[in-house]
Amino acid sequence: MAYTVSRRTKDIGIRLALGAEQRNVLWQVLGETLVLVLVGIAIGVPLAISGTHLVRSMVFGLGIADPVAILFARTLLTIVAALAGFHLGGLALAAGPLSLSIAFWASSACGPCGKIFK
């Protein structure tokens, strides 16, 4: 997610410069983060339940599908991902539209001879 936000800082800066509210940009980053987490949980929980069959004999007290452990892991993962999304969104907003748009123009072909600066 950090990679995605860092790649989209130019887009975020342009949106902020054109008048987008910071709250909307933050919720967009948080929504994308939570979608990734929910997809991971939807794939991971069935795999974890099927994996308990393999390790049940090696771990004492692990049932076929320990619902408390699965619920705890899902909740903890969602909380950590939400905090990471807020942090990444805050970092993207802290840069401000002016510095992000300057970074956009510096990375495009705007030199006197048309070279691309990177």
Structural domain boundaries in the chain:
2-106
More confident residue, 45 or 99: 45
Does the pLDDT at position 46 exceed 80?
yes
Quick one: CA dihedral 82, 83, 84, 88, positive or negative?
Answer: positive
3-class secondary-structure state, position 95: coil
Tokens of 11: 């887009």
Q: What is the mean pLDDT of the chain?
A: 75
CA-based nearest residue to 40, from 6, 64, 7, 74: 74
The pLDDT assigned to 25 comes to 83
Does the pLDDT at position 101 exceed 80?
no
Helix/strand/coil percent split, the chain, to 5: 75, 0, 25
Does the pLDDT at position 65 exceed 80?
no
More confident residue, 108 or 6: 6
The pLDDT assigned to 1 comes to 72
How far is residue 81's CA from residue 73's CA, in Å, rounded to a whole number?
Answer: 12
